[in-house]
């Protein structure tokens, strides 16, 4: 049990990577706050899985694109369990369009959740930790696209590049408070965010050809690294990005 009696909040944990992290955290001994925006049924299922692991859970609806929602989420979570030790900024979305067709609405949708949401959730978590005079851990679920270009996903890349620098900056600023912050950069993981790709055999095979480990990632592949970064084992780790991508990022083969 690597997270025994820790209290963790995982944003966007009704499905995909966030849900896998919430459940794995519970299996490692943590009580978990589950957050969703629209998929209430997924949150209920995640809660049942957390409870099946013998831990307590709490569901809080909040739109991570809205700062008022974020503050309510963190404060409700901290009040319910008495404190928060770990924040996982997982909620995120992407929209597909050539750069010259991206609308202001789509840009705002992506940046508000993926970057502004991470910024203000981290801020509220830090305020909570300072107010209670405790150390803590923040884990951001970024993407290989904090580093790699992804044509037709320019807003997504801008948001993830922002998360990369935010993490580096906060590692320096929050280190003296005993707060660690790191990113996980998943590659192609089988989750609802890439349903379209998963249903397009041509694109999928081309992608698989670029993954040295020869398979898509599973949500559990990401959850195991999140457990490490949230645990005391990572006490001396901050400001880093952990790639969970089967080798995708550094694989360039001249065709």
Which region, judged by CB under 6 A, interacts with ligand BGC, from 31-39, 41-49, 190-198, 226-234? 190-198
Instruction: Name which position in 55, 116, 137, 145 contacts ligand BGC (CB under 6 A).
Output: 145
Beta-strand relationship, 136-141 and 179-186: parallel
Number of residues that bind ligand BGC (CB under 6 A): 10
What are the DSSP E strand ranges found in the chain? 7-10, 31-36, 57-61, 86-89, 136-141, 179-186, 241-244
- In the DSSP assignment, the letter for residue 190 is -
What residues numbered 73-102 form the site for ligand BGC, per CB under 6 A?
A: 94
Residue with tokens 């698989």: 208
Report yes or no: 32 and 19 within 8 Å, Cβ to Cβ: no
Our finding on whether 144 is near ligand BGC (CB under 6 A) is yes
Instruction: Name which position in 12, 162, 187, 246 contacts ligand BGC (CB under 6 A).
Output: 187
Instruction: Name which position in 78, 125, 188, 234 contacts ligand BGC (CB under 6 A).
Output: 188
Which region, judged by CB under 6 A, interacts with ligand BGC, from 12-20, 36-44, 176-184, 193-201? 193-201
**Shortest reach from residue 233's CB to ligand BGC, in Å:** 26
Task: Enumerate residues 6+ apart whose C-beta is below 8 A from 240.
Answer: 182, 183
Judged by beta carbon, residue 11 or residue 194, the one nearer ligand BGC is: 194
Instruction: Name which position in 143, 154, 238, 241 contacts ligand BGC (CB under 6 A).
Output: 143
**Shortest reach from residue 185's CB to ligand BGC, in Å:** 8
Task: Enumerate residues 6+ apart whose C-beta is below 8 A from 79.
Answer: none
Task: Enumerate residues 6+ apart whose C-beta is below 8 A from 80.
Answer: 33, 58
Which region, judged by CB under 6 A, interacts with ligand BGC, from 9-17, 46-54, 125-133, 185-193? 185-193
DSSP 214-240: -S-B-HHHHHHHHHHHHSGGGTT--S-
Our finding on whether 58 is near ligand BGC (CB under 6 A) is no
Instruction: Tell me the angle at which helices 104-111 and 154-174 cross, rounded to the nearest 10 degrees.
Output: 30
What residues numbered 10-49 form the site for ligand BGC, per CB under 6 A?
A: none
Instruction: Name which position in 58, 197, 211, 213 contacts ligand BGC (CB under 6 A).
Output: 197
- In the DSSP assignment, the letter for residue 193 is G
**Phi and psi at residue 35, in whole multiples of 5°?**
-120, 140
Which region, judged by CB under 6 A, interacts with ligand BGC, from 68-76, 115-123, 144-152, 229-237? 144-152
Count of other CB atoms within 10 angstroms of residue 148 = 15
**Shortest reach from residue 81's CB to ligand BGC, in Å:** 30
Dist. CA 22–CA 14, nearest whole Å: 9
Our finding on whether 194 is near ligand BGC (CB under 6 A) is yes
Active site residues: 156
Q: Which residues bind ligand BGC (CB under 6 A)?
A: 94, 143-145, 150, 187-188, 193-194, 197
């Amino acid at each position: 049990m690597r997270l025994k009696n820790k209290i963790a909040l995982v944003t966007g944990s009704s499905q995909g990577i966030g849900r896998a992290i919430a459940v794995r955290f519970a299996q490692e001994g943590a009580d978990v706050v589950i957050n969703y925006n629209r998929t209430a049924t997924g949150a209920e299922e995640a809660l049942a899985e957390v409870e099946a692991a013998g831990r307590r859970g709490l569901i809080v609806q909040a739109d991570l694109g809205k700062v008022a929602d974020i503050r309510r989420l963190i404060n409700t979570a901290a009040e319910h369990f008495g404190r928060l030790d770990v924040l996982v900024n997982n909620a995120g979305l992407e929209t597909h369009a050539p750069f010259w067709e991206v609308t202001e609405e789509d840009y705002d949708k992506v940046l508000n959740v993926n970057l502004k949401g991470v910024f203000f959730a981290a801020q509220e978590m830090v305020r909570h930790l300072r107010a209670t005079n405790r150390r803590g851990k923040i884990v951001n679920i970024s993407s290989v696209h904090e580093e790699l270009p992804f044509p037709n996903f320019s807003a997504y890349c801008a948001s993830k590049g922002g998360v990369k620098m935010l993490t580096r900056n906060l590692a320096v600023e929050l280190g003296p408070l005993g707060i660690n912050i790191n990113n996980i950069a998943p590659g192609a993981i089988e989750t609802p965010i890439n349903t379209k790709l998963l249903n397009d055999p041509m694109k999928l095979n081309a992608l698989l050809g670029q993954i040295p480990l020869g398979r898509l990632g599973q949500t559990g592949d990401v959850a195991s690294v999140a457990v490490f970064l949230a645990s005391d084992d990572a006490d001396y780790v901050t400001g880093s990005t952990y790639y969970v991508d089967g080798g995708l990022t550094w694989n360039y083969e001249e065709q």
